[in-house]
Amino acid sequence: MPRPVSVNSGASRFIQEISVGPHVFHADEPGDLGGGDVGPNPYELLLAALGACTSMTVRMYAERKKWPLDSVRVGLSYAKVHVDDCVNCETEVRMIDQIEVEITLVGKLDGEQRRRLLEIANICPVHRTLTSQVRIRSRLTENTVPD
């Protein structure tokens, strides 16, 4: 089960301090968008989550099967694309979000093992979350810092 995540804005315009359990890191926007580029932007964090989950899931599956997978590399990119560019899109929206994922499997795998690992990559938990209906409920809480 994922640990709670806390995100706090800093004194700078876009820099965010992110805490997950004992881990602390930053998110920001690039300089050309007004940020200081001290960390990945939110979409880059989303891609990192998908890439990490994809790689971990493929690796665990190959280990369970005792397949000769030495390493997994996942390259990801994000873009808004016109629906006309999307062959299998069923939406009335003119632009959609598209994530490209390139997976490199290093090891002496046969064609069937490689095909199966691609199938497994496409059902990692984060992939399933991103392709399912997601409900996000936001609410305000009371300010706990004295004025």
Residues of the chain where predicted confidence (pLDDT) is lower than 70: 84-93, 145-147
In the chain, the number of structural domains is 2
Burial of 17 (0-12, 13-18, 19+ CB in 10 A): middle
Neighbours of 4 (CB within 10 A): 7
Residues 32 and 59 grouped into a single domain: no
Do 68 and 84 lie in one domain? The reply is yes
Q: What is the pLDDT of residue 122?
A: 97
Q: Kindly state whether residues 118 and 95 are assigned to the same domain.
A: yes
9, 18 contact by CB (below 8 A): no
Q: 26 near 15, Cβ under 8 Å?
A: yes
- pLDDT tens for 20-39 read 999 999 999 999 999 999 99
pLDDT at 147: 57
Question: Which structural domain range is residue 65 located in?
Answer: 41-136
pLDDT at position 63:
98
In a domain, 145, yes or no: no
pLDDT at 85: 57
Rounded to 5 degrees, what are φ and ψ at 36? -105, -5
Do 121 and 53 reside in the same domain of the chain? yes
| Total-model pTM | 0.86
pLDDT score at 2: 84
Note whether 85 and 95 are same-domain residues.
yes
pLDDT of res. 144: 73
Identify whether 16 is part of a domain: yes
Q: Are residues 20 and 92 in the same domain?
A: no
Torsion region of 66: left, alpha or beta (phi above 0 gives left; psi -120 to 50 gives alpha): left
Could you read off the pLDDT of 12-22 as tens digits, one per residue?
889 999 999 99
How much is the pLDDT for 93? 62
